[in-house]
Amino acid sequence: MSDPKPDCILAEESDNHWVKLILWSNEDPVRPAHRWNGFMKYLVEEIRALLVSLKVTDARRLRLMKDWGVDSEQFERASPLSGDELEHAKKLFPFDTNFSQLFPNITIDNLIFRKELSFVGAIFAGTISFKNCCFERRVNFFDANFERGAVFSGSEFLEAVNFAGAQFRIAALFDRVTFCGQISFYWSKNDRILDVSFRDAHFLNFIPRFHGRNFHPGSDFHGVTWPDIPKRNGHKKTQDTIEDALLEQITSYEYIRTQAEHIGQLELRKEMIRRELACRAELAEPSFERYLRKAYGWICDHGTSIGRPALALLCIWGFTFAAWRGWAAQEAAVTTWDVLYHTGGRMLPFVGGHAYVEEHTLKALRAAPHVLHFLSAMAAILSPFLLFLMALALRLKFRMSV
């Protein structure tokens, strides 16, 4: 059994100096990231000064700067804090803090944030950890820079969270994260590699938007819970909202499907195909096409289920066999094996059950009531379609398509 999550406390009650810095930064109603980035710039300058004082070689200094995440050009463009702001930020940390040795690896775990947070354009020099946190309001990481690692494992976002334009230099971890609101990883250009792990994550109401991102082959989507497919309920206003939601989901599923195919994650691709087709079946106007799409979903789960068409095939054969067996019980010339050969042969295309039946028995079978022949004809018509659907699902399951 996995260890239970530790109890969370309110961010305002935490004595974590990084949390205090976040809350103070978000008190700025115009540029919340200005205070955060200004203090990060100060730390980077202190660390760089420390490296100069160590009198190491240039190559060694550059290597250490890269390892510590303080070599980014983003810090050069950040605006410094004013004297009063810097003094206030320093007071958020313990009195004896040596800022030249305060490496910007940040741990902010097991906290509840009840206020809306903005990290627009924020720079995170080192690894930042938000494990098992609960964000009750919107969180905006638009255009943020995660220079090292970003860990959000086990956290909950109760409202929208925005990572559009955010740069992840190293794989970001969203394992077991619960997303209740809208999620965006949108990138304005189609050249940004996204390396993330969503293992066992829960997307309760919305599909994340990844447009403009190219998935890294190491991205992990195992065990993801996707939102339910919206259903029509007959109310015009609600229907319009549902149609918009279905169209948005279709767009997202199509994009994830193409990315999954590109990196060779065929299980994810299959799931996206299934969900996309389910959305299209729900979106279709009442017509023969809608009923056909619905039937396709019921019978074979949109081409991904082997068991459903196999069960349908078995049920059709079982019903036909039972009907013929009930009639054969009154016919001395027809045995149970004869019925088995006859009904089984009709279920397999290009195979005739009469090949295993004696001539006198075949005459008795031909004299059976028309309703039994009708059942056999329907079984012979339906069985090729069901076998085809089974073959389609088998092809997907055993990777016989790319």
Condensed to tens digits (0 to 9), the pLDDT of residues 37-75 reads 898 888 888 877 777 777 767 676 666 666 666 666 667
Task: Tell me the one-letter amino acid at 132.
Answer: N
**At 290, phi and psi to the nearest 5?**
-60, -45
Q: What's the pLDDT at 50?
A: 74
Using the predicted structure, report yes or no on whether residue 164 has a pLDDT greater than 90. Answer: yes
Q: How far apart are CA 292 and CA 141, in angstroms?
A: 43
Q: What's the pLDDT at 402?
A: 43
Q: Are 361 and 334 in contact (CB under 8 A)?
A: yes
pLDDT one-digit tens code per residue, 332-346: 777 888 788 778 877
Confidence of residue 349 (pLDDT cuts 50, 70, 90): low
- How many CA atoms, within 13 angstroms, populate the side-chain half-sphere of residue 203? 21
Of all residues in the chain, what percent carry a pLDDT higher than 70?
88
Q: What's the pLDDT at 222?
A: 94
Angle at 347 between CA 342 and CA 350, to 5 degrees: 90
Q: Are 65 and 71 in contact (CB under 8 A)?
A: yes
Displacement of CA 171 from its chain's centroid (Å): 16
Return the CA Rg of the chain. Answer: 31
pTM of the model: 0.78
Alpha carbon separation from 300 to 228, 276, 310 (Å, rounded): 18, 14, 9
Q: How far apart are CA 302 and CA 299, in angstroms?
A: 8
Better-predicted residue by pLDDT, 333 or 262: 262
Q: What's the pLDDT at 14?
A: 92
pLDDT one-digit tens code per residue, 280-331: 888 888 788 888 888 888 888 888 888 888 899 899 989 998 998 888 888 7
Better-predicted residue by pLDDT, 287 or 137: 137
Q: What's the pLDDT at 288?
A: 81
Better-predicted residue by pLDDT, 5 or 194: 194
Does an H or E element contain 340, and which?
helix 336-347
Q: How far apart are CA 337 and CA 130, in angstroms?
A: 68
Q: Rounded to 10 degrees, what is the CA torsion of 365, 369, 371, 375?
A: -10
In this prediction, residues 84-105 reach a mean pLDDT of 85
Q: Are 183 and 158 in contact (CB under 8 A)?
A: no
